Structure 1
């Protein structure tokens, strides 16, 4: 009888030991999986940090390097360009190595290439000399890419027939400025551009038709008040700028007209959260024989994100936008914005036609000190847009 009882007890206890062993094995497996996951995450962190360092995206600025570079590639997709790769690079440097108070000069390069053969390069170089007594800005671009044309005016952009064509653009501008008062600069420069339209299906007699090639050159006079702490990503200060550009056949331009551009940008630090509230008002007026490629444009990466650049164009523009720039942990941040803009044939008619509005959100990653990689998504009235770039929209 005792043997039977012992056997019965063993039959009861053995499954408990087996279950405990299985539970222990399962626990060990979970711990090992967690350790493996932790190891994989640590490896990913190490790989990411090494990659960012190799690209120069260390979140710092080292003037001893001469030009301190950072390069960031990224994929994109648009209906016109299809799939492609964009590359944005920024180099910071001091013109005078002994000047530790003037903001760094910058060299920004943005390029893209897509599977359908579209490509483009945009270069922006801003230099600060003699403790910011002199400034020199140089811009150049080359673009060969599908583009869109709806016609002239807000109504054409809303109700017009879309025309797809291929645009080749060459552009160059230079502007030199001299400080005449505290934070106040007077400048002069030169502007040259050439636009060629091809593969267009518009009839030559169509109201939407446009010359297939236009070349324009003109001289610019600029007056600016600029108290921003850092032009690429201001956290405080103000920019008030008025530019006058005269395009004339005497300078080699196909058309005679002039352009007035006014920009007011303000940056208010929110000290309690280390955030920034930024807003901008922009107006543009083109007067004279203005061709299709020299009209004021709504849309794109800087002016009313969320709309395709080229859809809305006319001689005169009024636009405003406001951003809340939020700092997160480490080098991360977010941006939230709202904006509105309109166009008109005459400046005094601005506001008579419908306004286009935009709301958007963006992610920021600091690749150099105060220089951000930005990923933005803007939502317009009837379309949206995704943007990958370096530096803020304004």
Structure 2
């Protein structure tokens, strides 16, 4: 707990930041606590965490370090940076574009960096998304299905991932976009160690667990997006249907297809302050689907509190709801409940047990409507502490 306190204290500064001053000149006028507050405000200003967005700066950056603990990565330190910008400063219709960079290292040897770049162009007529990831992290393989994930038998291995994708979208109707893109990933499973040998499902599934897998695919999508701000919506709706085709003709190691659906809704409430957000996500994979491309439950965005990789199968259904409560100034809290399940066939979703997640999180606005999030999630028999920038959905 002591390792978490510096970040929490860092975020508990005042609602607004004063202009940097020399604390020496005011030392005789300030109490020790006031001097600490002044130093903290100056420090946040240096990190760019001023709660504002100035398009005149080009890319207006903020950088925040902090600890995390997740079931798969254990205790670690992360650094998250977000930059907001306007490709056309005279474009009053498009929301700010953004670059989000997350890097981490943990005590069990995990490290990685990911980049997400979202561009809103020409009065939001066009959108361009670029993503890249490099990760080297301990991972687990319990087998396939919810029931397999509940057992202690597992394969521990080191997962090395290189991934990138590009998606372009064009508006065809109000709030409605058609998109296409390409996705690439290269995954290696190194040094697998099976803890127990009396698990028949592991023996059956290990054939789907090769050392290296390359995936290259094309994507088509249809999106309805009326959200007021993608990084932290307070109203509007997102409905996104995407189809992926991974093909050996494109350089993939296996042929398979994927369909994903994301429905997210956001409502600003009047009776009590805050935002009620809820989401339903579904994923269906069919064809020669390998170990690294199955739908996963767990992690920082889906069923926070579960070890990512413990629960996987070809088909997934998840729903989560959050109440986002403002506390005044730049501070806020989040409370959520989620449930998800997996199945080999899509029409069998719901026949296996459901997994549940509840949690609470703290929010601090580092840029205008861009939050640092500290989440504590609890699963059926696990928990995890997550440090990141931007909301889970």
CA positional deviation for 1:159? 2.1
| Distance in 1 (alpha carbons) for counterparts of 2:111 and 2:103 | 7
1:32 matched residue in structure 2: none
Q: Which secondary structure does the structure 2 equivalent of 1:306 belong to? A: coil
Aligned pairs for 1:77-88 (under 5 A) are 77-78=69-70, 80-88=72-80
| Distance in 1 (alpha carbons) for counterparts of 2:336 and 2:73 | 26
2:354 matched residue in structure 1: 355
Q: Does 1:206 align with 2:203?
A: yes
1:258 matched residue in structure 2: 257
Note if contact 2:120-2:126 (Cα within 8 Å) is conserved in structure 1: yes
Note if contact 1:150-1:208 (Cα within 8 Å) is conserved in structure 2: no
Provide closer, same or farther for how the CA distance between residues 116 and 320 of structure 1 changes in structure 2, counting only shifts above 3 A: closer
Q: Does 1:225 align with 2:224?
A: yes
2:389 matched residue in structure 1: 390
2:240 matched residue in structure 1: 241
Note if contact 2:134-2:162 (Cα within 8 Å) is conserved in structure 1: yes
Alignment deviations for residues 191-213 of structure 1 (CA, whole Å, 9 cap, x no partner) = 0001001111248x933421011
TM superposition score normalised by structure 2: 0.89
Q: 2:175 aligns with which of 163, 173, 183?
A: 183
1:148 matched residue in structure 2: 140
CA positional deviation for 1:297? 0.4
Aligned pairs for 1:1-394 (under 5 A) are 39-78=31-70, 80-159=72-151, 161-202=153-194, 206-209=203-206, 210-394=209-393
Alignment deviations for residues 317-372 of structure 1 (CA, whole Å, 9 cap, x no partner) = 01100000000111000000001000000000000000001111000000001000
Q: Which secondary structure does the structure 2 equivalent of 1:88 belong to? A: strand
Q: Which secondary structure does the structure 1 equivalent of 2:356 belong to? A: strand
TM superposition score normalised by structure 1: 0.88
Provide closer, same or farther for how the CA distance between residues 115 and 260 of structure 1 changes in structure 2, counting only shifts above 3 A: same
| Distance in 2 (alpha carbons) for counterparts of 1:183 and 1:293 | 34
Q: Which secondary structure does the structure 1 equivalent of 2:148 belong to? A: helix
More helix by share: 1
Q: Which secondary structure does the structure 1 equivalent of 2:214 belong to? A: strand
Per chain length, whose mean CA-contact separation is higher, i.e. which structure has more relative contact order (CA < 8 Å, sep 6+)?
2
Alignment deviations for residues 205-240 of structure 1 (CA, whole Å, 9 cap, x no partner) = 933421011000000001000000000000000000
1:19 matched residue in structure 2: none
Alignment deviations for residues 5-26 of structure 1 (CA, whole Å, 9 cap, x no partner) = xxxxxxxxxxxxxxxxxxxxxx
| Distance in 1 (alpha carbons) for counterparts of 2:324 and 2:33 | 29
The CA RMSD over aligned residues, in Å, is: 1.8
Note if contact 1:275-1:324 (Cα within 8 Å) is conserved in structure 2: yes
Note if contact 1:106-1:127 (Cα within 8 Å) is conserved in structure 2: yes
| Distance in 1 (alpha carbons) for counterparts of 2:128 and 2:190 | 35
Note if contact 2:71-2:382 (Cα within 8 Å) is conserved in structure 1: no
| Distance in 1 (alpha carbons) for counterparts of 2:231 and 2:327 | 19
Provide closer, same or farther for how the CA distance between residues 354 and 75 of structure 1 changes in structure 2, counting only shifts above 3 A: same
| Distance in 1 (alpha carbons) for counterparts of 2:352 and 2:28 | 61
Note if contact 2:54-2:60 (Cα within 8 Å) is conserved in structure 1: yes
CA positional deviation for 1:114? 2.5
Note if contact 1:333-1:365 (Cα within 8 Å) is conserved in structure 2: yes
Structure 2: any 5+ residue segments left out of the alignment? Answer: 1-26
> Which 4+ stretches in 1 moved above 4 angstroms?
35-38
Q: Which secondary structure does the structure 2 equivalent of 1:376 belong to? A: strand
Provide closer, same or farther for how the CA distance between residues 150 and 68 of structure 1 changes in structure 2, counting only shifts above 3 A: same
Larger-gyration structure (1/2): 1
Q: Which secondary structure does the structure 1 equivalent of 2:41 belong to? A: helix
